[in-house]
Structure 1
Amino acid sequence: MMNILVKHRNIYRLIAFFLMWILASPLSFSAEFYVSPAGQNSNPGTKKAPFATLSKALNAVKAEFHHSPDQDCTIWVDQGTYRISEPIRLRSAEFHNQKGALTIAALPGTAPVISGGVEVPKWRRTSDGLWKADLSKLFPKHSEFRELFIDDRRAIRARYPNEGFLRVAKVGADRRTNFFFEAGDFPIPASVEQTELILLHDWSISRIRVQDIDLSLKKLTTVDSIGARQPAFFNLDNWEPNPRYFLENDLEFLDADDEWYYDKIENVLYIQLPTEQNPNDHNITIPVSHGLLDLSGSMEQPLKNIRFEGLTFKHAAWIIPDRGYGGVQACHFDPRFTKAESKDLLPPTKGWAVVPAAIKGDWTENNSFTNCHFKNLGGSGLWFGTGSTNNTISNCTFEDISGNGIMIGEGRDRTVNGQPWWQEAPEQVAKGNKITNNTIRKCGQQFFGAVGIWCGLTAETTIRENEISDLPYTGISIGWMWSPVPTPCRDNTLENNHIHHIMQQLSDGGGIYMLGLQPGSKILHNRIHDVNLNVGRAESNGLFLDEGTTDVVVANNLIYEIAKSPLRFHRATTNIVRENQFFCKENIRPIRYNTTREGDIIKIDNQVFVVGEPAYQKQLSEAIEQWEARRKEKN
């Protein structure tokens, strides 16, 4: 009997202890909401009665956080396409979560799409075999759009020539706004005022409307400067006496399958497809929403603990200024905005303008995108900007994007109290952000000077184990100061990235391009190859450490199949280069020094192999195998 009483007493003590532990512990709740194309916003947002839109679900989450800021919330998104005409806005002033996190995730086994596009209906065939659609029910006349997508592939804005480039015969007297061509170089456009010139500089491009084509003089004139107005080296013939160009957007150029032309005066869209295809059997989409997600916090109250999982983001629009796009570098460009246009400009027009991203976050903290897809986008992809800390982008794909793929931090132009932010308020630097295990390809589809990953003046940024490929320009660009002047840029790590088949259109870049003083920064164990096209005046490289690069360690990188030097310094200062493997073509130096003192570069135990040596191919194969094995072991 006593044993039974003791046993019961022990049980009661355990129950009492458990109840006391519960009462003493902070309670953790979780609220779940569901969204489905088959739902209704008048529903309660349950699994059986879901909402129809993400905006409605977000409003429900705001209400939950208002009452219980420490609870977690989840929005489950069902299979389907969710079309928006303006960005979904998440603002910290409306989210009162403290410890609570919000997860916006695809339901298991689904792949929902957030689309900023509209489908084009009712195509009919013309007498010359093209297809046309009247857009008067979608857009007013004189509308602008720059992309068209057939199912998941980017259609080609009608261009001449279809492949390759034309060459300027002679640059005009002002070297900026006009040039001469040879007779027969291109078909004369039917609508000159809608035609766009695309001219390639060394590391950037211009996109600018044609003002006039004088057939008697064989002279083409544009509406503004071809190339950025400043610096002065953007003169048309600075890099090449006969620079490359092509023309876009005229019915005369519409002569190949998957090409399209929009006549904004008639408000009619034309497309050419293979003979057996009917556009009415395809999803043909025009992006209309200028951005898809706007994540906005403040210095006092950052937007935090928002997680996106398993979602696809497609069809964001961005229209270049009416006076044209004069690229400077990495989707920064010469600002030429009217007052109406400048409302969408980031940053303000005081400095260089920037091609905006479909998903943009400022003053964000501990947010993440995991297993998401970003594709068919008109501007850039995803940008964690000013004051963004400890955000993560992992296991995502970025593909078919007009501008940069991923952007972190900001450049030099923003001011605080009338002074450059990086001098007046360096604590506002984007810090501790991570980009890991993503696939980034086919960026720069419209703005060839784009890069796969761009980081401005950032601190403690980690870029690790990403595959970056098929780019017209550079793979990763980090730093944004063309001198060793101190900034908050420091302790950035680029490690175990596989970068290949880049620099396919432009020059003077590389697999990794770095700028400025970055104490504590490291470029480690990256594999870079197939940088074989070099056009313009300057060469391209595996690693290019440009002006002011200082206090950087370059170690254990594998670089091969590079047309020029695997590593180049230009106006750099003291850096360490150790234990790298440089595979060089004949008569190519492994390291090139442009206005850099060779003695300032400390070189330790680097291996150099040259094409033609007896064991070259065997050594390269072994090096690749070792790199792959090391990466698998780390994963």
Structure 2
Amino acid sequence: MGSRTCFAGVIFGLLAVSAVVHAGQVVVAPDGLTPKAALEHIRAAKAKGNQEAWTVVVKPGIYALTETLTLTPADSGTPQAPVTWAGEGEGTTISGGGVVKGWTAEADGTWSAPIPPAPDGKPAYFEQLWVNGRRAERARLPNGGQGTASYFNLVKPNITAVTNAAGKVSYVERVTLTNALAAALGKIPADEFPYAQMCVVHKWSTARRILRAFDPATMTVETWTPRGWSGWSIWSARETLVSFENVRSAFDAPGEWFYDAKAGRVRYRPMADEVVATAVVVAPSAKLSQLIALKGNPDTGEFVHDIAFRNLTFAYSDATPAAGYAVNGPTESWQHQAASGSDGLVTAEGAHCVTWDACVIAHTGNYAFRFNDGCVSNRITNCTIEDLGAGGIWMGAASGHVAKGETLKRRVIKTLAPRSTAFNVIDNCVIRKGGLFNPEGTGVALTHVSDSEVTHCEIYDFYYTGVSVGWTWGFQGSVAQRNEVAFNRIYDLGKGIMSDMGGVYTLGTSYGTTVHDNVIHDVWAYSYGGWALYTDEGSEGIVMERNLCWNTTDGGFHQHYGAGCIIRNNVFAWNKKLGAVRMARQVVQDIPCTLHFVNNLVVVREGPLVGRGPRGVGGIWAGNLWYDYSGKPELDGLAWDAWQTCGKEVGGRYADPLFENADACDFRLKPGSPAFALGFKAWDFTQAGLRKK
């Protein structure tokens, strides 16, 4: 799909002193050349006119970065002579973490160690810790558990504007907690409030606040924010959950840790099989959210290009600091969507034909990858991306860039601008265990990006959406066109904590975009909105077909509002609140909403087959097979007989689809299924997920 020929090579290493350098090759080793020195050596050679292919061979070892390794256009290769960073063997790790040393066993069974220094020499502040490669849980109230058991409900949320003597307005937030366990907040000494945080989950967004006060008599928590609440961000009892971190009185469960600022120590309560003398404890004490930065200049046509990384592990990044706040201090964050304010362990701008193959990206405080403006024809293949503070991969420019003289309207856009991001590939990757610091994180977010692919990936274990496509709200035009989301397995999302999400979620004008041959299941929302396929505001021109969607809280498919999307030849089964379709809006911006729903197979055991709204929305409905195993079919408020005569659907049928084994979620059809007579075409569900070796 790319506009240039890309060469896959490989990887990257760190730290050392004496070099091994041959013509076209540099060797990085624990007792040799550092990655930074290797980069500088190649840069100097290129500056003298050496244009041969270069390989950086990285020997096994852990290479700890103290600053971001930045690649510029001067570090690029060519299509004929790429620059390759290649890990040699197993265990080659580029790390942004520092080993916490000096652990001692305390009389109460816990361990403690001095807080390590940050690069500025002051005690490093961090909110994540890993013990023997496992992310440890920060002392938390309530203790972590499944679903809402790990959060408190709240009542009476309110916000009050306060103006100081200088005329600056800030806001005091107050919420009242109803769970008696929250009384433990009353044990927090006043001088520990600056290091205790309230973590808020509201609909599809999250926030972090520093505790300011707690009133045990009323169970009221007080926090502060420079921003008011408005619109969707207003906290509510029905849609908001809270938890608390770094609370000394909650430091009570094996595997938890506590940042003890007063004593200048890190405290850890070990698991039964952990030994203080052999444990390896890592913290992001270098304060690096970006380990690798690719910095081109799209405006001048200077790109970082023709570089490849292979067989390397990139690990341990810090969370992205909030704008205007100290890097080395507690995180305060505000509500977004899809952790849009997070950077990546690898962050790129102006990158062309850069490849990551067979790499591991793990233990992040942010996204694993973030591609911003001017990123074209890049590839992420055969990688494992896991244990993520936010999401897996963010791909998209800051806005919808169009060619000079053109405008961004509801039209097909085929010409790239210098800052366009397009023609990127994400293939055959495992992307899992995300949202562990910021639950908004998305498996893959394709925002202002066109002509890109997410194929044959396993995407699972996130609190929010699996794959998001588009980043405009309403019928206003978008560059997110001709993207493809295909042959992925997407599952275990939401976890009953967040709301308003989809296995695949879309926004805005997306002409030519296809979502096909995916298997999506187990999408569990808290208050509302756990859908397998979700076309949100202004989605149009999308084809969704041959997707197997089952076991969600709210339905197999939902359209908030959109036009011209085709939902064809999908299986929607065992979804809780309704079978397949809910449509919220009929006319938006004076544009009639439409949807084409053809040759789908929809079955339920509870709830209606079709939710409210489709009869007020235009489009073709034809040849769908419906079945309610409870024997009480309901479609848009109508019984089956009334649905047949209302004129909404042509040629639909109500009958048992004859699955091979519905109870075991084996949705293959027996030869005599009535779906075939309606034009339904079976496909091989097993082709979704990682490519077969």
User: TM-score band, normalised by the shorter chain?
Assistant: 0.7 to 0.9
**Mapped pair 1:40 → 2:27:** no
Kindly state the Cα deviation for residue 181 of structure 1 after the two structures are TM-superposed.
3.0
Structure 1 partner of 2:427: 436
Report if aligned partners of 1:411, 1:480 keep a CA contact under 8 Å in 2.
no
246, 250, 254: which is aligned to 1:249? Answer: 246
> C-alpha distance in 2, partners of 1:97/1:230?
50
Match of 2:441 in 1: 450
Q: Aligned runs of 1:405-484 on 2, under 5 Å?
A: 405-412=392-399, 426-484=417-475
Match 2:342 to one of 342, 346, 355 = 355
1:277 deviates by 2.7
1:86 aligns to what? 67
Shift of residue 172, structure 1, vs aligned partner: 3.0
Normalised by the size of structure 2, how large is the TM-score?
Answer: 0.77
1:13-412 equivalence runs, <5 A: 40-44=17-21, 51-68=32-49, 70-93=51-74, 95=76, 97=78, 99-107=80-88, 109-135=89-115, 140-141=121-122, 143-163=124-144, 164-172=150-158, 174=160, 177-182=173-178, 185-187=182-184, 188=186, 189-190=188-189, 191-224=192-225, 229=228, 231-237=230-236, 240-241=237-238, 243-275=240-272, 277-287=274-284, 288=286, 289-299=288-298, 300-318=301-319, 320-321=321-322, 322=325, 324-332=332-340, 354-412=341-399
Sequence identity of aligned pairs in percent?
22
**Partner in structure 2 of residue 13 of structure 1:** none
Shift of the alpha carbon at 1:467? 0.6
**Aligned mates of 2:232, 2:27 — CA distance in 1:** 63
Partners of 2:28 and 2:38 within 8 A in 1: no
115-124 or 51-60: bigger deviation: 51-60
The normalised TM-score by structure 1 is 0.83
> CA–CA distance in 2 between the matches of 1:276 and 1:553?
51
Opposite residue 522 of structure 1, the aligned amino acid is: T
Q: Which amino acid aligns with 1:144?
A: Y
Q: Distance in 2 between matches of 1:543 and 1:262?
A: 41
* Residue 618 in structure 1 maps to residue 664 in structure 2: no
Query: In structure 2, what is the Cα distance between the partners aligned to 1:356 and 1:103?
Result: 24
How far has the Cα of 1:631 moved from its partner? 7.1
TM-superposition CA deviations, 1:100-144 (whole Å, max 9, x none):
21110112x333000111111111122322111112556755642
Give, as a single letter, the amino acid of the residue that structure 2 aligns with 1:567: F
Partner of 2:163: none
Q: Which of 548, 551, 556 matches 1:561?
A: 551
Tell me, what secondary structure is at the counterpart of 2:510? strand
Candidates 506, 531, 536, aligned match of 1:541: 531
- What letter matches 1:145 in structure 2? F
Report the number of matched residues. Answer: 575
Provide the C-alpha distance between the structure 1 equivalents of 2:103 and 2:211, rounded to a whole number of angstroms.
29
Query: Matches of 2:685 and 2:569 in 1, distance apart?
Result: 13
Superimposed CA distance per residue, residues 14-71 of structure 1 (whole angstroms, 9 cap, x where no aligned partner)? xxxxxxxxxxxxxxxxx9999787x633554678996431111112222333345642
Q: CA offset at residue 177 of structure 1? A: 1.0
Aligned with 1:578 (options 559, 568, 571): 568
1:525 and 2:526 are equivalent in the alignment? no
Cα distance, 1:264 vs structure 2:
2.5
Distance, in Å, in 2 between the alignment partners of 1:553 and 1:223 is 45
Aligned residue in 2 for 1:11: none
Deviation at 1:99, TM superposition (A): 4.3
Paired letter, 1:127: A
Change (3 A) 1:632 1:195: closer
Instruction: Read off the aligned partner of 1:224 and give its amino acid letter.
Output: T
Structure-2 change in CA distance of 1:69 and 1:231 (3 Å): farther
Distance in 2 separating the partners of 1:585 and 1:301: 50
Distance 1:306 1:173 in 2: 50
**2:312 and 2:359 in contact (8 A); partners too:** yes
SS in 2 for 1:305: strand
TM superposition shift of 1:217: 4.3
Please give the alpha-carbon distance, in whole angstroms, between the structure 2 residues aligned to 1:307 and 1:454: 22
Distance, in Å, in 2 between the alignment partners of 1:511 and 1:48 is: 43
Indicate conservation of the 8 Å contact 1:489/1:517, yes or no.
Answer: yes
Alpha-carbon distance in structure 2 between the residues aligned to 1:550 and 1:229: 33
Q: 84-93 or 318-327, which moves further after superposition?
A: 318-327
Corresponding residue SS for 2:194:
helix
Asked if the contact 2:563–2:593 (Cα under 8 Å) also holds between the matched residues in 1, the reply is: no
In the alignment, which of 601, 604, 617 is matched to residue 607 of structure 1?
601
Question: Structure 1 stretches of 5 or more lacking a match?
Answer: 1-30, 333-353
The answer (yes or no) to whether the contact 1:66–1:95 under 8 Å persists in 2 is no
Report how far residue 233 of structure 1 moved: 2.4
Contact map agreement 1:441 1:469 (CA 8 A) in 2: yes
SS in 2 for 1:523: strand
Cα distance, 1:413 vs. partner? 9.1
1:628 corresponds to which residue?
Answer: 686
* Cα distance in 2, alignment partners of residues 526 and 49 from structure 1: 41
CA offset at residue 599 of structure 1? Answer: 7.3
Structure 2 counterpart SS, 1:58: helix
**Matched letter for residue 17 of structure 2:** Q
| CA shift for structure 1 position 530 | 1.3
**Structure 1 residue 83: Cα displacement:** 0.7
Alignment gaps of 5+ in structure 2: 1-8, 145-149, 161-170, 326-330, 606-627, 630-655, 670-682
Q: Paired residue for 2:644?
A: none
Report which stretch shifted further, 194-203 or 164-173. 164-173
The answer to whether the 8 Å contact 2:76/2:305 transfers is: no
What is the distance in 2 between the residues matched to 1:303 and 1:626? 40
Structure 1 stretch 300-309 or stretch 478-487: which is displaced more? Answer: 478-487
Offset at 1:200? 1.2
Report the alpha carbon displacement of residue 241 of structure 1 after superposing the two structures with TM. Answer: 4.1
Aligned equivalents of 2:60, 2:408: Cα separation in 1: 43
DSSP 3-state at the match of 2:534: strand
Kept in 1: contact 2:11–2:311 (CA 8 A) = no
- Bigger proportion of residues as helix: 1
* SS of residue matched to 2:244: strand
For residue 503 of structure 2, what is the aligned residue in structure 1?
Answer: 511
**Distance across 1 between alignment mates of 2:334 and 2:421:** 27
Asked if structure 1 preserves the Cα contact closer than 8 Å seen for 2:39 and 2:75, the reply is: no
